[in-house]
């Protein structure tokens, strides 16, 4: 689903981003690296808030960075968690990624050797997105 060197570069960026996470409540630092269609890499980390609903996940942080730089198409996102097994993106992150790239490759990596790789469309089947907004009520 992608070259090892591409995944290694993105994993390094995601691991680095995780070191900058602000997670005083969960103590669960997460980093994400997003590969834009033109090869640019955008990373993000989770930023928690005392009002937990205002917390921003690493994946959404990376998407916001990319969109702010003018990118709207993504090829891959790599998520790093300091866990024994990979952690898939939460539902909110899946929905935000779907807004821009419903078939983006998602790779979740951890301290162990296990890796989760799939398309976003597998993690969010029958997703609601921009294409739904162009349908008439009778379609």
Q: Per residue in 40-88, pLDDT tens?
A: 999 999 999 999 999 999 999 999 999 999 999 999 999 999 999 999 9
Query: Pick the catalytic residue: 48, 59, 114, 117?
Result: 59
| Alpha-carbon span 123 to 70, nearest angstrom | 26
pLDDT of 83-110, one tens digit each?
Answer: 999 999 999 999 999 999 999 999 999 9
Q: Each residue of 15-39: pLDDT tens digit?
A: 999 999 999 999 999 999 999 999 9
Give the span between the Cα atoms of 68 and 35, in whole angstroms: 14
Domains in the chain, ordered, with CATH?
4-121 (3.40.140.10)
Nearest-angstrom CA–CA distance, 104 and 68: 19
For this structure, is 6 an active site residue? no
**Cα angle: 116, vertex 35, 39; to 5 degrees:** 140
pTM of the complete model: 0.92
69: Cβ contacts below 8 Å, ≥ 6 apart: 40, 42
Helices (H), 43-90: 58-68
Enter the DSSP assignment of 29: -
């Amino acid at each position: 689903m992608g070259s090892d060197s591409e995944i290694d570069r993105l994993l390094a960026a995601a691991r680095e981003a995780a070191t900058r996470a602000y997670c005083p409540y969960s103590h669960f630092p997460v980093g994400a690296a997003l590969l834009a269609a033109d090869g640019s890499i955008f990373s993000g980390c989770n930023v928690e808030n005392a009002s937990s609903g205002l917390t921003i996940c690493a994946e959404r942080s990376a998407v916001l960075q990319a969109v702010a730089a003018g990118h709207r198409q993504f090829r891959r996102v790599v998520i790093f968690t300091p866990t024994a097994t990979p952690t898939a993106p939460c539902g909110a992150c899946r929905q935000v990624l779907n807004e821009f790239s419903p078939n983006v490759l998602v790779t979740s990596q951890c301290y162990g050797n296990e890796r989760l790789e799939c398309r976003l469309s597998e993690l969010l089947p029958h997703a609601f997105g921009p294409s739904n907004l162009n349908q008439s009520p009778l379609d």
